[in-house]
């Protein structure tokens, strides 16, 4: 008999605890072994029941979720999925939780977000994080961002497209905080619910030498600017003459995702071709593999994060399997590698003139 993933639900709302338990119990490979209304009860149940995955509310009585998470990551690290409200305050706290070691974020069901949609995403996220070995953090502190690479000697008309999912918020922080202030324009798809991407972009903007913000339809893509796909919208590249711009639109889910990495990569292949670099980072599933292959076939340079540095190797593994990745490198070498590829192409272009 297949071993089930053991889940502990921590939330002060009895309704949320009931809904999560009912929905997850429908999955043949998942078992909700307990629930807790606050961190004090959760602490005892973690020791007693030894769950594989914890779902954690942020705003709770007696002890808030951030404080509990900080302690948990020091003394009993395990995969945590943050469950947060769609408020601006809730999304900011969710970003802080991800920086402290939580692996995924999920929005609570609301009038605009049904229990059915939530349950599908929750089950997928539980499966994605269940096998992750979470490292203990000394003092539960956030890891400091890296120092940016020196500014590029020449500006280019290149485009960088990056896709990520589970574990991607911290991976993207590593890449973007390492890039110089005049790096080529970036388009980024991170699988994340609506409302949370605004806070995510703001956090990256505070830490990065580049300007980082949530993409708006029609935004020009210029050097020194990184545009993050808004949650629940696809992000595409468009070209008019020498001008690149972003297209933000609704559309069907692709690989159960909106935004989808494949949608972005296919558009970059079509409109930038050899003027692009594609990067696929940590994440579950296969989103981005076909699009990255299309980019490589169109002449773009392509990079995948290596297995050892991934939280979840699914997306990079699939890209490597289909031959989409020209380079496979550790996370801390991704920024330098993509800049080297851009420099190589620029040198070849000058020689060919």
The CATH number assigned to the domain holding 336 equals: 3.40.50.180
**Left if phi > 0, otherwise alpha if psi is -120 to 50, otherwise beta: which for 256?**
left
Q: Is residue 123 part of a domain?
A: yes
* Residue 157 pLDDT: 82
Q: What are phi and psi of 258, to 5 degrees?
A: -150, 105
**343 is a catalytic site residue:** no
0.75 surpassed by pTM: yes
How does DSSP classify residue 110? B
- Which of 191, 234, 255, 271 is flagged as catalytic? 191
**Same domain? 106 vs 229:** no
Distance CA 8, CA 17 (A): 10
Q: Say whether both 249 and 195 belong to one domain.
A: yes
Same domain membership, residue 331 and residue 263 = yes
How would DSSP label each residue in 208-271?
-SSEEEE--TT-B--TTEEEEPPTTSEEEEEEETTEEEEEEE----BTTBSS-HHHHHHHHHHH
Q: Is 287 a catalytic residue?
A: yes
pLDDT at residue number 112 = 46
Catalytic residue among 91, 165, 199, 260, which? 165
Whole-number pLDDT of residue 164: 98
pLDDT for position 15: 86
Considering its fold, how many domains does the chain have in total?
2
Same domain, 176 and 252: yes
Q: Please indicate, yes or no, if residue 85 is contained in any of the structural domains.
A: yes
Please tell me the distance from the alpha carbon of residue 198 to that of residue 221, in angstroms, as a whole number: 18
Write out the two tokens for 121: 């995403």
Range of the domain at 342: 159-352
Question: Per-residue pLDDT for the chain (353 aa), expressed as one digit of tens each?
Answer: 578 999 999 998 888 889 899 989 999 999 999 999 999 999 999 999 999 999 999 888 788 889 999 999 999 999 999 988 766 677 888 899 999 999 999 887 664 456 666 777 889 899 989 989 888 877 655 565 667 776 656 656 899 999 999 999 999 999 999 999 999 999 999 998 888 899 999 999 999 999 999 999 999 999 999 999 999 999 999 999 889 999 999 999 999 899 999 999 999 999 999 999 999 999 999 999 999 999 999 999 999 999 999 999 999 999 999 999 999 999 999 999 999 999 887 656 545 54
Among this protein's residues, is 332 annotated catalytic? no
Query: Which listed residue (57, 287, 309, 345) is catalytic?
Result: 287
**What is the distance between the alpha carbons of residues 112 and 149, in angstroms, rounded to a whole number?**
42
Q: Are residues 103 and 214 in the same domain?
A: no
């Amino acid at each position: 008999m297949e071993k089930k993933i053991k889940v502990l639900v921590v939330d002060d709302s009895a309704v949320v605890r009931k809904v999560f338990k009912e929905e997850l119990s429908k999955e043949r490979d998942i078992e909700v072994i307990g629930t807790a209304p606050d961190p004090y009860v959760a602490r005892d149940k973690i020791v007693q029941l030894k769950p594989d995955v914890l779902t954690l509310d942020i705003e709770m009585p007696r002890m808030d979720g951030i404080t509990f998470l900080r302690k948990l990551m020091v003394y009993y690290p395990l995969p945590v999925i943050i469950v947060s409200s769609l408020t601006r305050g809730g999304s900011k706290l969710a970003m802080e939780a991800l920086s402290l070691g939580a692996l995924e974020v999920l929005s609570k069901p609301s009038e605009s977000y049904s229990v059915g949609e939530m349950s599908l995403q929750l089950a997928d996220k539980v499966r994605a994080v269940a096998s992750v070995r979470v490292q203990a953090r000394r003092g539960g502190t956030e890891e400091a961002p890296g120092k940016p690479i020196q500014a590029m000697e020449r500006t280019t008309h290149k485009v960088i497209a990056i896709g990520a999912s589970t574990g991607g918020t911290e991976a993207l922080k590593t890449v973007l905080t390492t890039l110089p202030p005049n790096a080529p324009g970036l388009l980024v798809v991170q699988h994340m619910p609506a409302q949370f991407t605004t806070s995510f972009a703001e956090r990256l903007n505070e830490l990065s030498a580049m300007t980082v913000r949530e993409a708006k339809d029609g935004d020009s893509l210029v050097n020194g600017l990184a545009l993050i796909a808004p949650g629940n919208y696809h992000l595409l590249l468009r070209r008019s003459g020498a001008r690149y711009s972003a297209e933000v639109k609704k559309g069907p889910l692709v690989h159960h995702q909106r935004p989808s990495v494949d949608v972005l990569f296919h558009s970059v292949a079509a409109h930038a071709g050899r003027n692009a670099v594609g990067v696929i980072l940590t994440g579950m599933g296969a989103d981005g593999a076909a699009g990255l292959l299309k980019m490589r076939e169109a002449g773009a340079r392509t990079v995948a994060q290596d297995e050892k540095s991934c939280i979840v190797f699914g997306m990079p593994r699939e890209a490597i399997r289909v031959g989409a990745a020209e380079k496979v490198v550790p996370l801390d070498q991704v920024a330098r590698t993509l800049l080297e590829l851009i420099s190589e192409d620029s040198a070849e272009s000058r020689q060919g003139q």
